[in-house]
């Protein structure tokens, strides 16, 4: 079911336990049941109705918040999701309810020192699309840097940032890295290793002064104020 893009593995388990899943018209209630390629998997309407209620939230994460679980006294970004921090210009009619915080998980990381677009979702399909093994969704960052040597970063090192660096013993996928102005680079990546941009910059003698994620796929941060959140609109797709 997960491979077909119907739902996440966790959702599949829930639906099977509730008797909402059929194979060739017969209800399957046992987790881990094998399905052959020629067999047809279908789900009851209740599953689709429940899935449609699941929300995806966009936050402009400030410095000092962690993406996931609380750690070392720092608050998780989900702590920002409350009625008073919802963006007043949010065009979605959905009413906020505390049940929306249940199973609301970050679809990707943004480290504690970075700001910008962070996605929290209850929808397993969104999470898989953004952070699954086969994802190729672009993520765009604006990165303020300082060169540790006299003069300007050589073009050869800029080329290495685009393609040619290795992290944790594995070659990085090609990136798109270009200067925006004298001290700011634009990074567009299709992967997200831990503190990847900071480590890439360190390898070529650049110190990261500030890092902001401004886009994930086709969804942009836009004018969303720092520390505020909004719902993903129906017409928006990553």
Residue with tokens 């898989």: 128
> Of 148, 128, 138, 121, which is closest to residue 229 (Cα–Cα)?
121
Residue with tokens 């959702």: 11
Q: Kindly report the CA angle at 88 between 86 and 92, in degrees rounded to 5?
A: 80
- Identify the active-site residue in 13, 90, 111, 183: 111
**Total residue length of the chain:** 238
How far are the Cα atoms of 16, 50, 160, 209 from residue 32, in angstroms, in the given order? Answer: 10, 22, 45, 48
Burial class of residue 114, CB neighbours in 10 A (0-12, 13-18, 19+) = buried
111 annotated active-site: yes
| Partners of 137 in the β-ladder | none
The catalytic residues are: 111
């Amino acid at each position: 079911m997960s491979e077909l893009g119907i739902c996440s593995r966790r959702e599949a388990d829930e639906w099977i336990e509730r008797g909402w899943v059929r194979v060739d018209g017969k209800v399957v209630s046992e987790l881990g049941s094998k399905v052959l390629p020629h067999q047809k998997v279908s789900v009851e309407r209740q599953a689709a109705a429940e899935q449609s209620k699941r929300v995806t939230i966009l936050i402009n994460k400030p410095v000092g918040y962690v993406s996931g679980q609380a750690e070392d006294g720092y608050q998780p970004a989900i702590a920002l999701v409350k009625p008073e921090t919802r963006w007043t210009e949010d065009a979605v009619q959905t009413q906020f309810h505390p049940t929306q915080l249940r199973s609301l998980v970050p679809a990707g990381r943004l480290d504690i020192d970075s700001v910008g677009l962070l996605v929290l979702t209850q929808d397993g399909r969104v999470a898989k699309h953004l952070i699954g093994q086969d994802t190729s969704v672009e993520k765009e960052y604006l990165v303020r840097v300082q060169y540790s040597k006299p003069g300007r970063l050589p073009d050869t090192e800029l080329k290495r940032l685009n393609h040619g660096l290795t992290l944790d013993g594995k070659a990085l996928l090609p990136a798109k890295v270009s200067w925006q102005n004298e001290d700011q680079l634009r990074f567009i990546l299709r992967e997200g290793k831990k503190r990847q941009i900071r480590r890439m910059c360190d390898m070529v003698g650049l110190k990261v002064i500030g890092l902001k994620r401004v886009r994930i796929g086709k969804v942009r941060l836009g004018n969303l104020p720092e520390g505020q959140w909004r719902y993903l609109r129906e017409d928006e797709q990553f």
